[in-house]
Amino acid sequence: MTSKAKRAQYTLEFKMEAVRLVKAGQSMAAVAATLGLVEQTLYNWVKADREGKLAGAGAKPVSPEQMELARLRAEVARLKMERDILKNRPTRLRAALMNRNFGRVHSMHAETVAVSFLEA
């Protein structure tokens, strides 16, 4: 017995927010990954928006709380991605970037280049 998987339905607000993120300069791949979408789906939404044909599921109205929750989830995903990028940087360089004084950073390892942001 085979049964088809139920297709996901997205609200117009969700689609418009995804399209807005792409228009704001984020890559389609990053937005799709952040929102848990297939990249082709997002491409179709951007194309439909360009043509003025973007429509939502329309079955249920979305409350302001649901919209805020979706926005916050997207922001958390973006911040996690930024955090992961910083985690992959060398420890001493990360410390220098996070240091508000941007003082000298010296390395104890010969292979690491000492970085100075300000002359002492």
What fold is seen in the domain 12-88?
Arc Repressor Mutant, subunit A (1.10.10)
Residue 112 has pLDDT above 60, yes or no: no
**Prediction pTM value:** 0.46
The ranges of the chain annotated as CATH 1.10.10 are 12-88
Q: How far apart are CA 115 and CA 96, in angstroms?
A: 8
Percent of the chain exceeding pLDDT 90 equals 28
110 pLDDT tier (thresholds 50, 70, 90): very low
Q: How far apart are CA 98 and CA 13, in angstroms?
A: 36
